[in-house]
Structure 1
Amino acid sequence: MVQRDVAGQSQLSERESLLRETAQEGSGYHACRSTSEEDGGNEVLEPVPEVDEERSLGRGETESLKEGAHMNVVKIISVMLLGIFVAQTDGSILMATHTIIASEFNALKDSSWLIISFSLAGAATQTLYGKLSDIYGRKRMVIIAYTMFMVGCAIVGVGQSMWQVVLGRIVSGAGASGMSALVSVFITDLLPLREVAQWRAYVNLVATLGRSMGGPLGGWLADVVGWRWSFLGQVPPITLAIILCSAYLPNHASTLDETDVSATQQLKMSKFSRIDFKGAFLFATLVLTLLLPIELGGVNIPWTHPLIFVLLGASAVLLALFIAVEKRQAEPILPLEIFHSKDAILSFLILGFQTAAQLGMMFAVPLYFQVTSTPRPSATVAGAHLVPAVVGNAVGGMISGSVIKRSGRYKSLVIWAVTCSSIGYLLLMLRWHGNTNWLESLYIFPGGFGMGVANSALFISLQVVIDPAHMAPAVSFMYLMQTVWATIGLPAANAIMQTVLRRNLGIRLFELGYDSTEVAEIISNAVSDVDFIDGAIEKVRNAVVQSYIDGLWWSHGFSFSCSVTALVLAVFLKQRRLDGHKSKP
């Protein structure tokens, strides 16, 4: 259906525009004139093959048309993969270098802000990209996101103080959130529903490759030419990505006469007035007040600090205000209709619990091998034990996409995925008690595999039930949920492990005959530095190691509980026919 702009000209919605331009380049779909009273005789885009009514296309011509459409979609999505790769590489580069960066500015105690600032900026801006891309166009917002990320990397690379580097991470985080979400939005615009999961699996594969390479690359650059080049080196590939996106991403032309200055100005004013500034501000503030206490609690300030309760209380108030404001908005930044569907809510929750479980495991695994292995491995070697989970994630996404494309079934995949993850976490609880051999170290594969399968299948379950007009904000919100639950999962797993570690180590030390002062000192040293194990006497070392194992057992229990909860929720998902859903070229 077309919409009327302020100048009285017919203005295509962003999704229709993308589809039309793709059709003109060989998608096999075209606009046609509706004569029904419901459509009012307006021009609509329907999935009708462009076949001359005078003659039918031969098989060779039809295949050529389909091949042209496929190649056009490949070209459009492929040019965005470079940005995905660089953005994911950036995250793991920072994990490897944040202590080196902070140490240069004598601010090691503040190194966590390099990570916190990036994630908070991304979470606060995540949902904005979806709605703004509906108003101003996908291509324009992609280029804006890439540019912000590039500028942020440059600021970090040339920063001369800690606050300048943190500022650069804030700008980069605000750009990276759009780089990730808008690729998926493009995929939903341009592809049939059965193919969406498979193409998102390709994106996930590129992202996984970036995450895998970032850590070693960042460490190597820091050792050879300095950490600054880890970020300045990202500027050229992102610049290339901006050029490629400008050249190849579809961007419809305005239907207005460019010489009509008045009409053009009216159109710009109309778009600007569609932006829900109040909702955007309230939602960004809501996300920040919710995530800040989770990021700060137990690390920068105690969980019992009054600021924690003030922020959590403020987030509850802001949530109520946000809902009240959005109900009155003609075009809300986050349409509340998204949450009218039970399956949409279930999809968000299942993905959230799976993300929290996965992040809890990713935190625990390197620490487990650092503590239990003899001789003790370096942090790099211990981190390499995460490779089976990373590989499982990529393989699971590819398999899930292929199965959905062939069968159209996604609910059974979700149930299978969370069951597989639950079994993996249960095996960690049953078998990881020290002296773990290489075969049993592969028990983390099911967790990563299940996450990869669930990620693709849940994206489809969301698409099936969401109004296409709200798809971009819904996709952005799904990405936001992953960020929020990752932020919850990591500190929750750490808090559980630390609590059990302190309690059990205290009990063991008292049994060994140490007094309360000595116990407090040993516990403080043991929880702050795993290298303490090397210098401790044998009976203390054994007590520390066993207490770590106890704490990590409960950390795995947290992941298992999250995954089982996701399994219970998955049972209530409804399988819908993908063939009955509106197809996309």
Structure 2
Amino acid sequence: MNPVNDCGSVVPADITDTTGHNTTDEAREPLRRGSLSLVMTAVLLSTCLAALDQTIMAAALPTIVGQLHGFDVLSWVFTAYVITAGVSTPLYGKLVDMYGRRPLYLFALITFLAGSLFAGVAQSMMQLIVFRAVQGLGAGGILVLSLVVIADVVPFKQRGKYMGLYGAVLGVASIGGPILGGFFTDHLTWRWVFFINLPLGALALAIMLIALRLPRKRTSHRVDILGFLLLAGTATCVTLFTSWGGTRYAWSSTMIIGLAVASLVLFTLFILAERTAVEPLIPLRLFRNRTIALACVANMLIFTVVNGAATFMPMFLQLVSGRTATDTGLLTIPMVAGLMFSSVVGGGLITKLERYKWSPVLGCLLATVDTFLFSTMHRNTPWFLVITYFVVFGLALGLVMQPLTLGVQATAPEQDLGVATATAAFSQRIGGAFGLAALGALFASRLSAELAVHVPAGAAAQLTGATSQISPEQVRALGEPLRGNVQNAFMDSISTVFLWSVPVMALAFVLTLFLKNIRLTETEVRSELETLGV
């Protein structure tokens, strides 16, 4: 039987390389109880920084473009970060199971800090884009390896509480990013958007070097290079497809259709390659585990709706309700407050009840109902109702996101913990991207039809540019009754998107009903894995 350290975590039996030699060293010492708080502080701090950099650029970008120029490539400041963070996720998941948690985490954190330093001193937009890509390479590792480290240092029984804190930190980062970015730009310099990572990241790095002691693996496993290249190509094409579709290129353009076809072809080749690979990047045998398979599919469906809400709710508020960008931004506060509350309280209840299934089931049910309520909104929906819908959506997300990952970790084979966690994270990213593309195409199709109905042909000449590029200012500048007709066209189109999102979330709810409701104790989890034959 595997020993248990003084934190309650299972310490694996002797780790050996392929020649059978024991690789136990000083890093195998159990993590002391006093070190747990330090390690979790470092994990949550580095997670906050990595998540913060996904949003902190928004307020600073106009000033950055003004100083460095390159308006034509400004979207790549975001896209480069998202692509490298996305494509590196499954690779980190494989490498961490091969070479251990500590060295990979330190590598990811150092890479992120190096990218932050050089991005802060960038002298051109191209330099900034390159260093943002380096940042993303580190951030992708931090976000997935943080979950793996939590799984290593926190026993199953207590893990729900810490997963809740992880979710709450992501919520704080989503609110704090734009606020901090605006503060630094107005009162210091936009370069502090990146420099702020250095002292805080250095603190997290120092704690990790001192306090984090986990099993170190030295093995002769092979890296699935072909699988990585095919999956990286898939993720890149999907990211560009969703970033450019309906904005830079029309959904029916050759470029967007080509990216869609390339995504499907590369993903098909990836599946075929994984079936024959000696050591696949994502072992397909994982999906014989019912909980992992259901959780990954549910993640894809859930993040289709999440990304859709994040995209179309601001559009609704500004183009239909006539709210300002500031009002729209303020609405994220009650939503994220709901997410933080349910993440922390829900995580605590999971720890107390020692069961996790109730949380994603309840979260998906709430999200299904709330998505339907989104579809009923109109131009004059009362402000308090809009806030209520946002709070409920935040509560639902807090109950869904981390508990699904917890379920994956609880039923994954120990030797595949890293890759299983990364696969769950990747399913969120890839599913949300494909889902958003589908919803975007639906919206574009409906908007064209609705404008043809609501806006007379002669009056349509007052709308300059493509319909996907109509700005809130342009709509507000229109006279009546044209403005009302255009708002009605957007209202009906966005309502259709949310109405179609309801069965998507309802299907996720149904899938969560079939999750294994195992008790989150070491004995119960080990017993569950034995029944699965792992």
The answer to whether residue 409 in structure 2 is matched with residue 463 in structure 1 is: yes
Within 2, Cα distance between the matches of 1:314 and 1:344? 27
Relative to 1, partners in 2 of residues 1:368 and 1:138: Cα closer, same or farther, differing over 3 Å?
A: same
Give yes or no for contact 1:365–1:385 (8 Å, CA) kept in 2: no
Q: How many residues align?
A: 513
Residue 525 of structure 1 deviates from its aligned partner by 7.1
The correspondence for 2:288, drawn from 340, 345, 348, is 340
The answer to whether residue 441 in structure 2 is matched with residue 524 in structure 1 is: no
Give yes or no for contact 1:505–1:523 (8 Å, CA) kept in 2: no
Within 2, Cα distance between the matches of 1:111 and 1:87? 20
Counterpart for residue 326 of structure 1 = 274
Residue 171 of structure 1 deviates from its aligned partner by 0.8
Residue 570 of structure 1 deviates from its aligned partner by 2.1
Deviations 1:205-233 (A, max 9, x none): 12211221110110122223332221123
The answer to whether residue 508 in structure 2 is matched with residue 566 in structure 1 is: yes
Counterpart for residue 280 of structure 1 = 228
Deviations 1:549-571 (A, max 9, x none): 22221232243232112112223
The correspondence for 1:582, drawn from 522, 526, 530, is 526
Counterpart for residue 382 of structure 2 = 436
Residues 200-349 of structure 1 mapped to structure 2, 5 A cutoff: 200-251=163-214, 271=220, 274-349=222-297
Residue 12 of structure 1 deviates from its aligned partner by 4.5
The correspondence for 1:387, drawn from 333, 346, 360, is 333
Residues 422-433 of structure 1 mapped to structure 2, 5 A cutoff: 422-433=368-379
Within 2, Cα distance between the matches of 1:242 and 1:325? 37
Q: Tell me which amino acid in the other structure corresponds to 1:582.
A: R
Relative to 1, partners in 2 of residues 1:571 and 1:77: Cα closer, same or farther, differing over 3 Å?
A: same
Deviations 1:469-492 (A, max 9, x none): 111001011111222233234444
Residue 467 of structure 1 deviates from its aligned partner by 1.0
Residue 536 of structure 1 deviates from its aligned partner by 1.5
Counterpart for residue 399 of structure 2 = 453
Residue 520 of structure 1 deviates from its aligned partner by 4.5
The answer to whether residue 483 in structure 2 is matched with residue 541 in structure 1 is: yes
Within 1, Cα distance between the matches of 2:20 and 2:288? 33
Deviations 1:35-74 (A, max 9, x none): xxxxxxxxxxxxxxxxxxxxxxxxxxxxxxxxxx3x3322
Within 2, Cα distance between the matches of 1:165 and 1:435? 42
Counterpart for residue 2 of structure 1 = 14
| Mean CA deviation greater in 438-447 or 137-146 | 438-447
| Mean CA deviation greater in 378-387 or 280-289 | 280-289
Give yes or no for contact 1:102–1:110 (8 Å, CA) kept in 2: no
| Mean CA deviation greater in 464-473 or 553-562 | 553-562
Residue 139 of structure 1 deviates from its aligned partner by 1.3
Relative to 1, partners in 2 of residues 1:7 and 1:547: Cα closer, same or farther, differing over 3 Å?
A: closer
- The TM-score normalised by the length of structure 1 is 0.81
Residue 409 of structure 1 deviates from its aligned partner by 2.8
Within 2, Cα distance between the matches of 1:569 and 1:125? 28
Counterpart for residue 479 of structure 1 = 425
Relative to 1, partners in 2 of residues 1:330 and 1:168: Cα closer, same or farther, differing over 3 Å?
A: same
Relative to 1, partners in 2 of residues 1:440 and 1:188: Cα closer, same or farther, differing over 3 Å?
A: same
Give yes or no for contact 2:92–2:422 (8 Å, CA) kept in 1: yes
Q: Tell me which amino acid in the other structure corresponds to 1:296.
A: W
Give yes or no for contact 1:365–1:386 (8 Å, CA) kept in 2: no
Relative to 1, partners in 2 of residues 1:301 and 1:214: Cα closer, same or farther, differing over 3 Å?
A: same
Relative to 1, partners in 2 of residues 1:320 and 1:485: Cα closer, same or farther, differing over 3 Å?
A: closer
- The TM-score normalised by the length of structure 2 is 0.88
Within 2, Cα distance between the matches of 1:448 and 1:309? 34
- Provide the identity percentage: 25
Residue 345 of structure 1 deviates from its aligned partner by 1.3
Counterpart for residue 73 of structure 2 = 110
Counterpart for residue 555 of structure 1 = 497
Within 2, Cα distance between the matches of 1:203 and 1:416? 20
Relative to 1, partners in 2 of residues 1:103 and 1:566: Cα closer, same or farther, differing over 3 Å?
A: farther
> 5+ residue gaps in structure 2?
1-12, 528-534
Larger Rg: 1
Within 2, Cα distance between the matches of 1:319 and 1:347? 20
The answer to whether residue 306 in structure 2 is matched with residue 358 in structure 1 is: yes
Counterpart for residue 345 of structure 2 = 399
Structure of greater relative contact order (alpha carbons < 8 Å, 6+ residues apart) = 2
Q: Tell me which amino acid in the other structure corresponds to 1:407.
A: L
Residue 521 of structure 1 deviates from its aligned partner by 4.4
Residue 283 of structure 1 deviates from its aligned partner by 2.4
Residues 27-42 of structure 1 mapped to structure 2, 5 A cutoff: none
> 5+ residue gaps in structure 1?
26-68, 255-266
Q: Tell me which amino acid in the other structure corresponds to 2:347.
A: G
The correspondence for 1:179, drawn from 131, 134, 142, is 142
Relative to 1, partners in 2 of residues 1:103 and 1:356: Cα closer, same or farther, differing over 3 Å?
A: farther
Relative to 1, partners in 2 of residues 1:3 and 1:534: Cα closer, same or farther, differing over 3 Å?
A: closer
Give yes or no for contact 2:379–2:491 (8 Å, CA) kept in 1: yes
The answer to whether residue 77 in structure 2 is matched with residue 83 in structure 1 is: no
Relative to 1, partners in 2 of residues 1:276 and 1:400: Cα closer, same or farther, differing over 3 Å?
A: same
- Secondary structure of 1:578's counterpart equals coil
Q: Tell me which amino acid in the other structure corresponds to 1:357.
A: V
The answer to whether residue 188 in structure 2 is matched with residue 188 in structure 1 is: no
Q: Tell me which amino acid in the other structure corresponds to 1:451.
A: L
Within 2, Cα distance between the matches of 1:412 and 1:556? 25
Within 2, Cα distance between the matches of 1:323 and 1:12? 35
Give yes or no for contact 1:99–1:108 (8 Å, CA) kept in 2: no
Deviations 1:318-356 (A, max 9, x none): 334433443444433222221122321110111221122
Give yes or no for contact 1:363–1:493 (8 Å, CA) kept in 2: no
Q: Tell me which amino acid in the other structure corresponds to 2:151.
A: T
Give yes or no for contact 2:101–2:216 (8 Å, CA) kept in 1: no
Relative to 1, partners in 2 of residues 1:323 and 1:486: Cα closer, same or farther, differing over 3 Å?
A: closer
Within 1, Cα distance between the matches of 2:509 and 2:52? 31
